[in-house]
Structures are given as C-alpha cells and as structure tokens.
Amino acid sequence: MQKLVFGTDGIRGRVGVFPFTLPALQWLGSALGYWMIERYGKNNRRVKVLLAGDTRESVEPIKKIIIEKLKQFPIDVIDAGVIPTPAVLMLIKNDSSFSCGIMISASHNPYYDNGIKLFDREVGKLTPCDEQRICELFSLYENKEEVDRYEEKGSYLRWPESSQCYVDAILKLVPKNLGVGLKIVIDCANGATYQVAKEIFKALGVEVIVLHDTPNGMNINEGCGALHAEKLQAAVLNENATIGFAFDGDGDRIVMVNARGEVKDGDDVLAVLLDLKEYKAEPVVVGTVMSNSGFDVHLQDCKKKLVRTPVGDKYVVAKLDELDLLLGGEPSGHIILKNYLPSGDGILVAVKVLQSLQESKKWELNHFMKYPQLTISVPVAVKHDLENEPYAGILRSYDAKIDSGRILVRYSGTEPLLRVMVEGIDVAVTKNIAYELAQDLQQALNR
C-alpha cells in the first residue's frame, strides 16, 4: 500500500501514477467526502464545496471522479469551471454558504502533472491536522475498511458566473480607472488566468497586450508564464509597454518586467507594495529562506525587519498570523496580502502593484540592489537525508569556501528535485560554487 502525502501545496504528482490513478482518486474522493461531513457537517449543516480547475487536459477526468465520490455524501458540489486557484478561496470567503473549496491544478508544473489543493473558508489552506485526517481516511478506503454510509446523497451544479464574480470582487479592491494611460503586457501561461486577467485589466482602463491565452490542455506553462519570462521581456520592449506581469498556470504567483525588460521577482514586488499606504506602517515583512539578502538590507534601511520562514506560502501565512502582520511572500512570486486573502493571488497583487506605482511613480522597479544569487535544480530519484554522509561533508566543504554569503540546499516539496541556492557578493565566485556544489551533490545522490 502506498501512502498519501501532502506536499508544501496540496497533493501533486504525475497523472497515471499514484495518487493520480483511478483507484487512488476514488479513495481520495471518498476520504474528502467523509472528512467534509466530519469537519463541516455538525448540527445537520448541509456541506457545500466549490470545485474548480486549471486548463490541463486531465482536470475534467479527475474532477469527474471526485464529484462522483462526493455525491455519495450529503454534499452540494458547485463547479466553477476554469478559474485561478485564489479565485476559489476568494469566492468561498465571500459566500458564507460554502464550507470549503477544491482546486485541481499542479500550479507551475507541466501539463502531465496535476494536483489537488484544498481550502477552508475561514483559514485558507488546510492545517496539518486536517491533512493528517484526510490521509488517515484515505488509508481506510484504500484498505476497504467499513466506514459510515449516508442515505442522503449530494448534488451537483455548474456555476458559469463564477469567473465574473471573481472579476467583480477584484475590481472592488482598487480605484476605478486605475490603469488609464498605461500600456501593459500580461502572460497568462495558457493557464487559469487566461480569461479573467484581461477582463480585469481592461475594466481598469489599461491598454493590455495578452500573451499565451490560448490553452489546449497541453500547453500550460510550456515555455511561458512566471517561470519563463523571456517572451514577456521581449513583448514589453517591442510594445514599448509600461510594465509586464507573468502569472503561473493556476494564477497564484506573479513575476514583473519593467520597461527596460528587466525581470523582477517576489522580493521586488514586496518592496513596491511597501509604498502603499496600507502597508507602509508594517514593522515586519515575512519572507522565506530564499529571500535575497539585498532585500533584507533594504528593509533595515527602511527601519523594518525581515522574518524568514521555510519555503512555501503556507509557512508565510502561518508567520503572518502568528505576528499579526499583513504582508509577506516568496521570491518565486507567491505574495500574501493578508488583509485580502490568506493565499497568493497573482492578479490581485498585479493590480495592487499598479496602484502603488501610480502613487509612487517608481516605475523603474529598482527599489534595492540584490546580492548575486543562483539557484540550480538537480533531479533526484530518492530524497536522501542531507544531514547524513557523504552529503553533509560535501556541504561543509562548500560552506568553508564562501566567506560573505549563504548556501541553502533543500528538496522541492512538489517535484523530485534538489534546489541548490548560493548567494554571495562576488558574481563569479557565487556562480562557480553553485555549479560545482550542484554537480557534486548530484553525483553523490545518484550513486
């Protein structure tokens, strides 16, 4: 029996491989149904769940299996179709009749992967206790153990107006005609933002050029979007645009490009947002271990402090909750505006960036100088414990080589990859150490 595991952002994997096989998805659908009744069905409350997906060809087959199993419970399933991941959370938060939401997406991964993200209406992404309970229930169904049966069955309803409800909700959060006089380029990654993003920017008065908004089920994230900003850079320069934004496949992250075609990451986004009145008074900004040291120095110059968490926006949200703060994020582009959503929302962040830049006029996006930083992704078959030898010894030897800088090595929470990050003052030294360390670890891990 294989074990169901939640990663840093839900359940994710290759379609056709556990847990994205027909039997495992059926067990998962049943586990989710039982968990929802157990979690939300107290005092005979009817459970209502919002279900959506991105543009992958595997979304509809997966959705069909989950719906079939959820309908075996007294659960009302509302199908929102294709909308961004953060739209699911925003819509359930705005409608108290919903208990939770499900998004079928593998975010920035290729089309042949997929994932299941779960949202609680009150807290956003699930707590570790909820994830553990779902895994326990999955094991029960996998082992065909007897569980409660329900005579009352669920229902299913499509909600074609969901995307317009999300558009309207975003537009209420920024001034009208915010984008009048601006020309921007957006890259929708052939993903979940391909319809709503252009509607929102056009409604704000922006002249908008849209890239990669023709999904075919297999081209999501393919050489485009937040992980591949080259085409956005070229378009911003060719169109003489004011700014460019790239989203990933499910719309929960953002990357910017300025008028000179320079790519700006999540640290730059946070620096821009700090010019907004609603965030200027924040004494602390939450980042991750990947946040650039240059951003840390910038915050110190602004009389503010950077608090780091492990990689993953759920850790950023947890720290924001703990410290009662509003703003945090990751260099990857997951930015949390806690006063609006306990989750990243690329489109919401983009319109808030425009609002900030309209006020500050700092369109060059050069708020601070970054330390040279290089991250290399190393494919691994098995995620060995890096505290064991020979891996620990390799890391110690490279730590001794870098005087003023940082080395961070960690496994991806969503892919079979080892991330090797090296940050330092000297570009050449940083680059050489990063490539040599990645090569040595790859050889050791794949022996």
Q: Do 8 and 332 meet the contact criterion of CB atoms below 8 Å apart?
A: no
Q: Is 444 exposed, middle or buried (0-12, 13-18, 19+ CB in 10 A)?
A: middle
For the residues of 153-178, what is the DSSP string, one character each? Answer: --EEEE-TTHHHHHHHHHHTTS-TTT
Q: Pairing state of beta strands 263-264 and 254-258?
A: antiparallel
Kindly name the residue from 107, 291, 332, 356 that is annotated as catalytic: 107
Listed residue (256, 295, 285, 273) closest to 373, CA to CA: 295
Give the number of other Cβ atoms within 10 Å of residue 185's Cβ.
Answer: 25
Residue with tokens 């591949």: 228
Give me the residues paired with residue 332 across strands.
Answer: none
Distance, CA of 240 to CA of 244 (rounded, Å): 10
Listed residue (166, 214, 212, 224) closest to 348, CA to CA: 166
Which amino acid is it at 42? K
Distance, CA of 422 to CA of 443 (rounded, Å): 18
**Residue 56 in tokens:** 């992958």
Q: Which helix (H) or strand (E) holds 360?
A: helix 346-360
Distance, CA of 39 to CA of 357 (rounded, Å): 43
**Residue 447 in tokens:** 């022996």
Q: Within 13 Å of residue 166, how many CA atoms lie on the same side as its CB?
A: 32
Is 107 among the residues known to form the active site?
yes
**Residue 306 in tokens:** 């950077």
Q: Is 421 helix (H, G, I), strand (E, B) or coil?
A: strand
Residue ranges in 107-229 assigned as alpha helix (H): 128-142, 162-171, 196-203
- For the chain, the residue count is 447
Provide the annotated active-site residues.
Answer: 107
